[in-house]
Amino acid sequence: MQLKMPRCCDSTPMLCLEKKDIVLKGAINFFGIPCRFLKFPAEGMEILAAALRAKNARLRQAFFGLMRFFLIFTIFSFIFHPCFAESKKLTAKLYGNYLKGLFYAAEGNYRQGLEELQKAKRLDPKSIHIRLKIASLLIRLGEIDKAEKELRQAKEVDPDSFDVSFALIFLYSYAQKDKELEKEYEEFLRKAAQVKPQDIKVSEYLAQFYFYKNRPQEAMKVYEAILKINPDYVEGIFWLGYFYEEAGRHADAIKMWKRALGIDPHHAPTLNSLGYIYVEDGINLDEAEGMIREALAKDPENGAYLDSMGWAYFKKGNFKEAETYLKKAIGFVKDPVIYEHLGDLYSKLENLKEAVYYYQEGLKYFPDNKNLKEKLNKYGRKDKNFKK
């Protein structure tokens, strides 16, 4: 759809249109006299036409805002040097192309909107905002590779732009490019943490990314930095204890979790973790059971907490209660440790058939788990019904 509007002349062109339209009346009152007096440029009238046709209220408001911008530039160029007028023309053309591109996009005419935005980009190749709009239209048109190229070019213009990184994350997620998504997401979080080192939540997103990618040493460093900023941040203390335990720093993990409970005695994840460590070590079993029970009271359907309680009962020789809790746990979460605990429970009860069953089930979900493989090999040989 082409934008058609009478060009500005000595008479106000808007007056030939219906005046019952409230928006149109405002346009006539606001732009009529300056338009007659200053020979308002053609681009301005085209944008006014787009404003009057825009269905989206916010977009229409943006068009009218640009019209005011045109008026200011026109007045300055009328008063000052002609070179200012030339600058005004380029700026007017740039914003004219940009807003016409937005107008076409809002109307669903993505191809024509793209053409207008490409014109704007040629006038201002360093504008990240224009490139982002172009990429969004390319995605809508299904031209993913072109959108990626546009965003990559934008990143070259401004390597520190969070908007560009976020757009690339969206694009890679949409296109299911997992490797590129992972790389861009990590870079985005690292930049965010550098820009806002005092924002604990930003840094924590990065640490959790390292957690999910099984990079505990890097996660540990992030949490250590977080705790320098806020030494009493219980969630950070808990996670640092977790990563210490993963790294084999057993005593340091216990120390961190005790520190966390000194600040918040009812922090469920810490209660469970410290209780489970005691159970694994075979110490303080009554205290451990009490801590795990309190954690369960806060989150009774947490598979990890149910497993801890089941394992505490196992260590105390209460195999019936152990079975109850461990079977509840596996119903909420599939975890190799829970399968191993169930297998160990039944091997202790000399029910090798059930023990082998749970080791095998665990390996279906976690085929590379070393402990499950070793125990299946050990107890499978003893079970006459076992078939590899």
Of 238, 249, 200, which is closest to residue 222 (Cα–Cα)?
A: 200
pLDDT higher than threshold 80 for residue 242:
yes
Confidence at residue 160, expressed as pLDDT on a 0 to 100 scale: 81
Is residue 77 within 8 A of residue 43, CB to CB? The reply is: no
Q: If you count them, how many residues does the chain have?
A: 388
* 3-state class (DSSP) for residue 4: coil
Count of other CB atoms within 10 angstroms of residue 316: 16
Count of other CB atoms within 10 angstroms of residue 7: 11
Mean pLDDT of the chain: 79
Burial 59-82, CB ≥16 within 10 A → b, else e: bbebbbebbeebbebbeebeeeee
Confidence at residue 385, expressed as pLDDT on a 0 to 100 scale: 55
Confidence at residue 60, expressed as pLDDT on a 0 to 100 scale: 52
* pLDDT confidence bin for 89, thresholds 50/70/90: low
Confidence at residue 102, expressed as pLDDT on a 0 to 100 scale: 83
pLDDT higher than threshold 70 for residue 116:
yes
5-61 pLDDT per residue, tens: 333 333 333 333 333 333 333 333 333 333 333 333 444 445 445 555 555 555 555
267 vs 295: CA distance, rounded Å: 8
The residue with greater pLDDT, 176 or 320, is 320
Average pLDDT (159-172) is 82
Percent of the chain residues past pLDDT 90, beyond the cut: 44
Is residue 275 within 8 A of residue 289, CB to CB? The reply is: yes
Q: What's the alpha-carbon Rg for the chain, to the nearest Å?
A: 33
Main-chain phi, psi angles of 317, to 5 degrees: 85, 10
Confidence at residue 49, expressed as pLDDT on a 0 to 100 scale: 52
The residue with greater pLDDT, 78 or 358, is 358
92 vs 114: CA distance, rounded Å: 18
Is residue 288 within 8 A of residue 279, CB to CB? The reply is: yes
* 3-state class (DSSP) for residue 2: coil
Of 196, 199, 148, 152, which is closest to residue 176 (Cα–Cα)?
A: 148
Confidence at residue 61, expressed as pLDDT on a 0 to 100 scale: 58
Percent of the chain residues past pLDDT 70, beyond the cut: 74
Overall pTM > 0.85:
no
Confidence at residue 298, expressed as pLDDT on a 0 to 100 scale: 96
The residue with greater pLDDT, 173 or 116, is 116
